[in-house]
A and B are shown apart, each in its own frame.
Chain A
Amino acid sequence: MTSTLQRTPEEIRDRHAENLGHKVGSGVFNPRQLLTSFPDALRKFDPRHQLRNPVMVVVWVGSLLVTVFAVTDPSVFTIAVTLWLWGTVLFANLAEAVAEGRGKAQADSLRKTKKDAVARRLTEDGSEERVPGTDLRIGDLVVVEAGEVIPGDGDVVEGIATVDESAITGESAPVIRESGGDRCAVTGGTTVLSDRVVVKITTKPGESFVDRMIALVEGAERQKTPNEIALTILLSTLTIIFMLAVVALQPFAIFSGGEQSVIVLTALLVCLIPTTIGALLSAIGIAGMDRLVQRNVLATSGKAVEAAGDIDTLLLDKTGTITWGNRRATEFIAANGTDERRLAEAVRLSSLADGTPEGRSIIELCVEKYGLSAEPADAEKAGEFVPFTAQTRMSGIDLNGRSIRKGAASGFTTSDEVRGIVDRISEDGGTPLVVAENDEVLGVIRLSDVVKPGMKKRFAELRAMGIRTVMVTGDNPLTAKAIAAEAGVDDFLAEAKPEDKMALIRKEQEGGRLVAMTGDGTNDAPALAQSDVGVAMNTGTSAAKEAGNMVDLDSDPTKLIEIVEIGKQLLITRGALTTFSVANDLAKYFAILPAMFAAIYPALDKLNIMHLATPQSAILSAVIFNALIIVALIPLALKGVRYRPSSASALLRRNLLIYGLGGIVTPFAGIWLIDLLVRLIPGIG
């Protein structure tokens, strides 16, 4: 587990791309998906399905209406318009089907892991019985041994084992699960690699983690999120307004002596109502959830994802999030008259075979500061590594009669000078490691908390987004303050107990702020439940996972920042495409109104600024543009509008420019281009 904490956010992202590459196309839209999703898209013509989307149901009914007229009064124009109107519905279906299809692929691969394991249930008298995994109930105790699949979600209550969780997390390195403490939760469908554990089942069959994950990625339980509902109301309002405008247009046209056909009026209506966003809305929602899953985060609801975009305050644990989880060597302090170089050489030798993160960090310092080699020379390979034990509290190497040891000061006989150094390091919040050769103390290694590179920049970005970061740590206030200043967080909570965390969350929420946090321990559970976005680490306890509304399978606390960005991106994509959709209408008016009425008021032809060939070609071009723009925007809907952390005003200005102004200009060009082709069709041009 600790290995994950060692990586930078960038590395973690890259790794997900690798791990998940075989599961889903990671964020990139592949045109082939349009073809493979085609059957699903056809199924969605079912009117019951269409009813879920007030904008598209109008297009559906309109298409049906023009079909009747196209059949009774066929012409190239009426048939072409009818086909393209149905095409509009098809493209909307396709957008949704493609988004769902990506989830389905992922669900299928998850399902494969959900083998119907046979459980070895412990009966009350202590004997074992073999039952199907689906028969397990909450509270059952099961035995799992090396090579066996864990039959259900639960907590280890006895023993310690290494577990392969790659089926769920995509992470191939095994993890350790042991009874007691915060590393006891195991997930059904994962495989025990070594040893034997007894697991207490904590979920009912069918409600396990994998089941929930499958339901989630398939979108089976997808409910509209609050903002999505509000947006749907706005889109319905626009649809009603345009229906009124188009329906009332007929009497005005009759009054003016230019009655219009139902086909033309329907074409106008479909072009005006916000079909672009209406068609892509659910795809955006599904894709947003999908983006989270691709980053190995499971959200229990879309609502939580939206809430992530609204977060005002982020509570971040210091250790593992802001600083490396492990302390790193930052300084070698020679003592007792030892030459600093000699100390460094001794230290290097003692740590060459030390695989712990601290050991590696010592070697790195030797290389960087003293130019020593990170690799053992041939002569040095003969050395015998003495590993750290709880009894000796030191580790080291024995080589050619030299016995080098490093460890806690208490294991050595120390001079006043060395004790002084040791005390000073402790006071600064660091950890001193005393180094001795053949019982002669050479000096002290300072291990200290090191802020991960790039954190300061990330916190600055968060600040620009309006998010306040609070570092939570068990350190004393002095140390906490030093690290908080170094990392650039806005505030810190020192000597924090779980209650303090809870109190802080409540205080923020009373001020109307939304709070996000990560946590893994059972004592984090109340705070996770209280926070608006609580991300539980997959390594954490079942209680923590139950309390939060998201689970991070990588157990990477820095991912909270990405989650916030995904939440924002989801909303931005909806807003941007709505703006684009509405802005498109201007060009459509310029295309269709002169086409409809230039016959009765020739002056209106002045509005035909695109110089569309004929009324038929103008109307058909607008309808075709309106349909094709849906397909053209599917990749954007799936990928999400690009989000760069910046102030709200800057974001709005940028998006208004791209999607507002762009939305006005694009259809002029698009309709004009389509007309150049459409006018070649006999009976249209």
Chain B
Amino acid sequence: MSPLVAGLLQVGILITALAVVYRPFGDYMARVFRSEKHSKLELAIYRFGRIDPNSEQKWSTYAYGVLGFSFVGIVLLYVLQRIQSVLPFNFERGNVPEGMAFNTAISFVTNTNWQSYVPEAVMGHTVQMVGLTVQNFVSAAVGLAVAVALIRGFVRHQTDRLGNFWVDLVRGTIRILLPIAFVAAIVLIALGVTMSIKSGVDVDGQAIANAPVASQEAIKELGTNGGGVLNANSAHPFENPNEWSNLFEIFLLLAIPVALTRTFGQLVGEKKQGYVLLSVMGGLWAAMLAVIWGAEASGLRPLEGKELRFDVAGSAIFANSTTGTSTGAVNSLHDSYTGLGGGGALLNMLFGEMTPGGVGTGIYSILVMAIIAMFLAGLMVGRTPEYLGKKLGRKEVTAAAVSILAMPTVLLIGAGIAAILPSTQGALNNSGSHGLSEILYAYASASNNNGSAFAGITVTNDWFQSSLGLCMLFGRFLPIIAVLALAGSLAAQKKVPVTAGTLPTTGPLFASLLTGAIVLVAALTFVPALALGPIAEALL
């Protein structure tokens, strides 16, 4: 079988698998968030947390919940790392240094899972399982909750209530992420992923690090987290042993973001509204795959930095999906990609993570972009702009603008300072355009809560640990606050009836408009920087 056919076959299997789960999975998630009933386990949790699950919150209270929960998560994770030396299963791995612990705590709570550490040398099983893995679940559930709150903003009218954050968080974790991750872990074990409580195995006298990989691998992909328990991440044979496990992992990381478009359509009561978002996400995903795959296949050294068992296609599909979903797991070294291929992965993140984006974040990011696109489109048809029956006025545009501004702001400030710091030169493997690509990639990955590493850059000095940490923090929570404020002002509105004058948002016209807006915003913001990095590299 030629590599092209093999690659297309993989894409075909992947899309088929996603298509099969799309409806049941999307509908299930809609039911989860619409259900009035609480399970016994959930009720016990609410009692323990003294939460009234039937009370609903205003957007601000909802936002306080998100921020408070995440802040406590960061503190706990930080403390856990700093006292590792006294924790069980530490395998004599000592306390994590301050800068690294700060960066890692933020990284996992913000669903970024940027790793400035070597897991098998730094983290013991306790921090890994009680700290990092817990955040793998709940940080994804936070993203889901925020997305659902925004959707409620569209669905509800003349109310200031957006649902209960704690209920959404608990349901997302218990009803969606845990059961699927459980099944996925078993599948992964069956596919050959390791699962061991020991710190390593002895192979012919050589100690090979090991861990309970499969259980964490499942949520690593499913929750679009990406932080591996082994340094080589999904390139490691214990994490990703063969083409089938590779394909399954790609499937896992795309599953929720893709199915959420169905959930969205269900919740707003018009499935087409979800399909059109899926078509935009899928269209960009496919286009970027063509760019990355094409660039890599025609590169001078197509297999440099790639695992032979995945070949170019298996690496390109993974790279495209992991950067398009804010997952950040990697099965190849993006630093070794061609200028265009690596630039493509970078651009995927610069789109703002919506092709199809992370768990929850993908759908709320694309909805924010849809609001901007519909604002301009609405003006162009001569009506006060509206989307999904809600008018887009001063408040809505402001919230959408803040949400969109946050990422480029922290990214460009961080990367700009890093570029001129003398210490940076020492941290880079390359100078010139590829060196700039390495800096841009690191800050894009952090600011977009992707977490994938281009590598080729050593990020352990204090500047990188703290600046990337802050990029992750603001890149995550500024948009979340803006999105919840947006949800609040949408929910407070009356519903505008659909008339013949309403601009339809289900057809190809809207899809191209939205695609255009996503590409244009990213291009206009980042072309100057990209010109000196990947573009200069690719044109050489």
By a beta-carbon cutoff of 8 Å, the part of chain A in contact with chain B is: 226-227, 229-231, 233-234, 236-238, 240-242, 244-256, 268, 272, 306, 309-310, 312, 463-468, 511-513, 567-572, 574-576, 578-579, 582, 585-586, 589, 593, 597, 601, 603-604, 606-607, 643, 647-649, 651-653, 655-656, 659-660
Q: Is the CB of B384 within 8 A of A245?
A: no
Q: Is the CB of B382 within 8 A of A643?
A: yes
Q: Which one of A251, A306, A463 lies within 8 Å of B419 (CB-CB)?
A: A251
> Is A569 in contact with B382, judged by CB distance below 8 angstroms?
yes
Interface of B is mostly: helix
Q: A251-B420, A649-B507 are in contact. Are A240 and B405 (CB under 8 A)?
A: yes
Task: Verify A227–B379 contact, CB threshold 8 A.
Answer: yes
Which residue of chain A has the shortest Cβ distance to B527 in the bound complex?
A: A589
Given A245-B408, A571-B379: A226 in contact with B394 (beta carbons within 8 A): yes
* B492 located at the interface, meaning its Cβ lies under 8 Å from any Cβ of chain A in the complex: no
Residues of the A chain whose Cβ atoms lie less than 8 Å from the Cβ of B375: 230-231, 234
CB distance from B446 to the nearest CB of A (A): 15
Q: Is B520 an interface residue (CB 8 A)?
A: yes
Q: How far is the CA of A652 from the CA of B502 in the complex (A)?
A: 11
For B, the interface residue count at a CB cutoff of 8 angstroms equals 66
Query: In the complex, what residues of B have CB within 8 A of residue A653's CB?
Result: 509
Contact flag A572-B380 (CB < 8 Å), given A256-B432, A601-B433? yes
User: Which of A227, A236, A248 has the largest number of chain B CB atoms within 10 A?
Assistant: A248
CA distance A250 to B535 in the complex (A): 17
Given contacts A230-B375, A255-B435, contact A597 B532 (CB under 8 A): yes
> Contact at A248–B415, with CB atoms within 8 Å?
yes
Contacts of A567 in B (CB 8 A): 382
Main secondary structure of the interface of A (DSSP, over half): helix
Which of B389, B409, B504, B513 is close to A244, meaning CB atoms less than 8 Å apart? B409
CB atoms of A466 and B524 under 8 A apart: no
Give the complex CA separation of A475 and B409 in angstroms. Answer: 65
- Surface stretch bound by A, among B159-167, B462-470, B493-501: B493-501
A572-B382 in contact (CB<8A) = yes
Contact A312–B501 (Cβ < 8 Å): yes
Query: Given A241-B525, A582-B524, A603-B536: A652 and B377 within 8 A (CB)?
Result: yes
In residues 407-462 of chain B, which contact A (Cβ within 8 Å)?
408-409, 412-413, 415-417, 419-420, 432-433, 435-436, 439
Inter-subunit contact B500/A309 (CB<8 Å): no
List the one stretch of B43-51, B354-362, B396-404 in contact with chain A. Answer: B396-404
Select one of A244, A250, A575 contacting B377, CB under 8 A.
Answer: A575
Q: Which residues of A contact B3 (CB under 8 A)?
A: none
Cα A576 to Cα B380 with chains together (Å): 6
Residues of A within 8 A of B274 (CB): none
* Segment 128-170 of B: residues with Cβ below 8 Å from A: none
Q: For chain B residues 376-392, which have a beta carbon within 8 Å of chain A?
A: 376-385, 389, 392
Binding site for A on B (CB under 8 A): 372, 375-385, 389, 392-394, 396-398, 401, 404-405, 408-409, 412-413, 415-417, 419-420, 432-433, 435-436, 439, 494-497, 499-504, 507, 509, 513, 516, 520-521, 523-529, 531-533, 535-536, 539-540
Residue pairs across A and B with Cβ atoms less than 8 A apart, 6 shown, are A229-B394, A241-B524, A245-B527, A603-B536, A647-B501, A652-B377
In the bound complex, residues from chain B placing their C-beta under 8 Å from that of A585 are 524
Once the chains are docked, how many angstroms separate the CA of A607 from the CA of B527?
12
A310 to B393 alpha-carbon distance, docked (Å): 13
- Tell me how many residue pairs across A and B have CB atoms closer than 8 Å: 210
Question: How far, in angstroms, from A383 to B202 measured CA to CA in the complex?
Answer: 129
Q: Which residue of A lies closest to B494 (CB)?
A: A512
Q: Which residues of A contact B398 (CB under 8 A)?
A: 233
Taking a contact as CB atoms under 8 Å apart, the answer to whether A512 and B495 are in contact is: yes
Inter-chain contact A255/B420, CB cutoff 8 Å:
yes
Q: How far is the CB of B491 from chain A (nearest CB, A)?
A: 15
Q: How far is the CB of B471 from chain A (nearest CB, A)?
A: 13
* Complex Cα gap A659–B398 (Å): 25
CB distance from B155 to the nearest CB of A (A): 15
Q: Which residues of A contact B502 (CB under 8 A)?
A: 466, 648
The reply to whether B501 and A648 contact each other, CB–CB distance below 8 Å, is yes
Q: Which B residues are in CB contact (< 8 Å) with A226? A: 384, 393-394
**Do residues B383 and A309 form an inter-chain contact, with CB atoms below 8 A?**
yes
Distance in Å from the Cβ of A309 to the closest Cβ of chain B? 5
> B523 → chain A, closest Cβ, in Å?
8
Considering only CB atoms, which chain B residue lies closest to A306 in the complex? Answer: B384
The residue in B516, B523, B536 that gathers the most chain A C-beta atoms within 10 A of its C-beta is B536
User: Pick the contact of B405 from A241, A463, A586 — CB < 8 Å?
Assistant: A241
Q: How far is the CA of A601 from the CA of B417 in the complex (A)?
A: 22
Contacts A241-B408, A245-B525, A582-B520 hold; do A468 and B394 have CB atoms under 8 A apart?
no
Given contacts A464-B500, A572-B379, A655-B380, 19 further A-B contacts (CB under 8 A): A227-B384, A230-B394, A231-B379, A237-B405, A248-B412, A248-B413, A252-B416, A255-B435, A255-B436, A255-B439, A310-B384, A568-B382, A572-B381, A575-B376, A575-B380, A576-B380, A606-B539, A648-B383, A655-B381
Report whether B524 and A593 are in contact in the complex, using a CB–CB cutoff of 8 Å.
no
Q: A230-B397, A466-B501, A597-B532 are in contact. Are A603 and B540 (CB under 8 A)?
A: yes
Residues B496 and A252 in contact, CB atoms below 8 Å apart: no
Decide: B499 and A468 in contact? CB cutoff 8 A. Answer: yes
In the complex, the chain B residue whose C-beta lies closest to that of A226 is B393
| Contact partners of B516 in chain A: CB under 8 A | 660
Question: How far does the alpha carbon of A197 sit from the alpha carbon of B69 in the complex, in Å?
Answer: 77
Residues of A contacting B503 with CB < 8 Å? 648-649, 652
Q: Is the CB of A651 within 8 A of B527?
A: no
CA distance A534 to B394 in the complex (A): 24
Q: A234, B528: Cβ atoms under 8 Å?
A: no
Given contacts A249-B528, A604-B535, A651-B381, contact A233 B401 (CB under 8 A): yes
Residues of A contacting B529 in the complex (Cβ-Cβ under 8 angstroms): 245, 248-249, 252
The answer to whether B379 touches A245 (Cβ under 8 A) is no
Contacts of A241 in B (CB 8 A): 405, 408, 521, 524-525
Q: Contact between B419 and A467 (Cβ–Cβ < 8 Å)? A: no
Chain A, Cβ-Cβ closest to B377 = A652
With A and B bound together, what is the CA distance between A236 and B392 in angstroms? 16
State A648–B383 Cα separation when bound (angstroms): 9
* CB <8 Å contact, A254 and B419: yes
B535 near A465: Cβ-Cβ < 8 Å: no
| A255:B419 contact, CB within 8 angstroms | yes
Min CB–CB distance B521 → chain A (angstroms): 8
Would you call A237 and B404 a contact (CB within 8 A)? Answer: yes
Contact present for B539 and A256 (CB under 8 Å) = no
Which residues on the A side are within 8 Å of B433 (C-beta)? 256, 601
Query: In the complex, which residues of chain B have a beta carbon less than 8 angstroms from the beta carbon of A231?
Result: 375, 379, 397
Q: Given A249-B529, A251-B416, does the pair A604, B379 have CB atoms closer than 8 Å?
A: no
Q: How far is the CB of B395 from chain A (nearest CB, A)?
A: 9
B380 and A254 within 8 A (CB): no
Query: B499: which A residues are within 8 A, CB to CB?
Result: 312, 466-468, 513
